[in-house]
Amino acid sequence: MLYMEDNKILKNKTAVITGGSRGIGQAIAVNLAKCGANVVVIYSGNVQRAEETLRIISEFGVKAKGYQCDVSDFTKTKDTVTKIVEDFSTIDILVNNAGITIDKLVLQMTEEDFEKVIDVNLKGAFNMIRHICPIMAKSRSGKIINISSVSGIMGNIGQANYAASKAGLIGLSKTVAKEYASRNINCNVIAPGFIKTDMTDKLNENIKLQVTSAIPMKKMGDPQDIANLAVFLASHYSDYITGEVVKIDGGLCI
């Protein structure tokens, strides 16, 4: 049976998605709910978008709750995880999707520009993993999915901070995969290419044309493409897969 045909494959599981109120994070949250998971949405500031995502998730008959948290803050992240466990009893799935960009050439990039992106994209993922892994280890089961980027694999002009954070996420993931394999915790990475989101919608048409012409499939991806793989990696179908980086980029990074 194909995993997407088993629409309750994640029943009774609790999934935490950072940056889960929009774009790729929202698509993943909704897909996990469709498959029966109770869903926790971590968001930074946009309460309205978070509430709308939770409304959509709740339509699938699962438990859904949002928590506002700056994932770059170690202590606040710990407190949020404690509240989640109080409300949901346990955590089975963690998706580290929260991310920001401050794009500039290296010569124009400030120390603050670099640190902000690293703090959210890389340190934020570490914070969540650090506080959730003991919970997973205790139950000897867990799935961690980190959302990186092809920029972290091949670099990208104007994205020294972003590429560094996403490359660091790959190294972090492989280390976590090795350290927790004996506890039956899987840690894998999804590396999207150009995906149609609010961020890419802001690009002018000339840049969009340049981008798509560089992609062998000649089109941008959809958040649903990422969400479909996230369900597979969160399910028992991926039990023997860990430490892997899966590109979803239409062939851009071949």
180/183 Cα distance (integer angstroms): 5
Q: Which of the following is catalytic: 67, 162, 180, 240?
A: 162
- Written as six digits, the tokens of 133 are 């892994």
From the centroid of its chain, how far is CA 149? Answer: 10
CA-based nearest residue to 4, from 23, 31, 39, 27: 31
Give strand pairing partners of 29. none
Among this protein's residues, is 3 annotated catalytic? no
| β pairing state of 14-18 and 64-68 | unpaired
Q: Please say whether the beta carbons of 129 and 178 come within 8 A.
A: no
Which residues are annotated as catalytic?
Answer: 162
